[in-house]
Amino acid sequence: MSGIRTCGSCGHPNTGDAMFCSKCGHKLPLHADAPAATPPEPAPPAPEERAVEPVAEAPAPTPQSAPRVAGAARTMLGMPMPDAEAVARAKAEAERRRADRAAATIVDP
């Protein structure tokens, strides 16, 4: 490529094969006779920041109790726990099952 490329940013003449201005580094037009690229318009100024009063934190939520469940007692952690009657029934059922298994394994002579 031949000719001179003039920088659209600073007006410096550059060689025809240059891609960027040797003075300011601005990108040069593709062709020597092409009009120089116009620099982009500056961004609008950022909106002015204002000091804002800090917002008070919301109070912590009030703990709510767990719903009452029939046949359950509360523990320190609030988890339902079976009452004594239910535990006694479960133990009696387990004992009956053990006795039934033991009776089934006894062999008559």
What's the confidence (pLDDT) of residue 43?
78
Indicate the DSSP class of residue 9.
T
**3 Cβ partners below 8 Å, 6+ apart?**
16, 31, 32, 33
Residue recorded with tokens 């099952």? 97
Q: Name the pTM for this structure.
A: 0.28
What's the confidence (pLDDT) of residue 78?
59
CA dist list (Å): 1 to 7, 37, 45, 105, 108:
16, 19, 41, 104, 113
pLDDT in tens, the chain (109 residues): 467 888 888 988 988 888 889 999 989 877 665 555 566 777 787 777 777 777 778 888 887 776 777 766 666 665 666 788 888 999 999 999 999 888 887 765 5
What's the confidence (pLDDT) of residue 32?
60
- Using an 8 Å Cβ cutoff, are 28 and 7 in contact? yes
**85 Cβ partners below 8 Å, 6+ apart?**
71
